[in-house]
Amino acid sequence: MNIKLDSLYSESHKSVIRDSRSNSVEIKESVRRLGEELGKKIIMDYFLVRESITTPMNSRLDGFLPKIPLCAIITTKDDFSFLGIGISSVLQNSISGYMDFNGQRGIQALNAEIRHMQLPKPKGQSVHTLIIAKAVLATGCTAIHLAKKAMSEYMPRNIIIASIFYSQNALAELSYEIPNSDIIVVGEPDMLDDDGMLIPGIVMV
C-alpha cells in the first residue's frame, strides 16, 4: 500500500531542499522536519487507538490515544542524523540504526558490501514495525538492500518504507521486492532520467 503525505508545510520543506540557494544547515533542518512529519503520519495511520477516557472533572469521553509498539528505524549512514532522527523524535518507543554502503548507489547498492552497520538489539521484546527511512528513492535499490538485511535481523510484523523524494520506478521495484511493505512518501513523484537520477533534481541528501 502506498500512502502520500500531502500538505503545504511538507511541500515548503521539499522546496527548501531543492533550492540551489539553500545552505547546508537549512537543507538538513528541512530533512529533519520532514522526518518528523513522516513520523506523525505513521502514528496517525498505524498507532492511534480509540479509547474511553476520564477527565479530571470526572467526565467520560471517547478519544484517540497513541499506542506505539517497538519500532526499528533503519537508514543509511547519510540519512541517520537528519531523516532518521526526525522520525525517531516522534516515535518515542523506537530503536535506530544504519548501514553504510561505502557510497554505492543505484543498482550497485543492491549487492554492495556493507562497510559498517549499526543495528541495535532490542532488550526483552521483539520489533513490531520496521521502518526503512531513505530521503531519496531514485531506483529503490539501496532501500531494498536496507530492508532485506534489517528484515532478516528483526523479523518484524510490519514493514514501512518512508521517503521524501521518489520515482514511480522505485515504488514499483520496492513493491515487487518487498511485497508486504507499506510505502509512505511526501508529495508527488519525480521523473527518472537514463542515468537513474531524479528530475527536477535535488542536492545530494
What pLDDT, on a 0 to 100 scale, did the predictor assign at position 177?
Answer: 95
Give the separation between CA 77 and CA 96, rounded to whole angstroms. Answer: 11
Is residue 127 pLDDT above 80, yes or no?
yes
Express each pLDDT in 151-168 by its tens digit: 999 999 999 999 999 999
For the purposes of burial, counting CB atoms within 10 Å of the CB of 54, is it exposed (0-12), middle (13-18) or buried (19 or more)?
exposed
- Residue 105: which pLDDT band, with cuts at 50, 70 and 90? low
Share of the chain residues as helix, strand and coil, in percent rounded to the nearest 5:
35, 30, 35
Of 102 and 188, the one with more pLDDT: 188
- Residue 172: which pLDDT band, with cuts at 50, 70 and 90? very high
Express each pLDDT in 185-200 by its tens digit: 999 999 988 877 888 8
Q: What is the pTM of this model?
A: 0.91
- Residue 107: which pLDDT band, with cuts at 50, 70 and 90? low
Non-local CB neighbours of 24 within 8 Å, separated by 6+ positions: none
Give the separation between CA 181 and CA 148, rounded to whole angstroms. Answer: 11
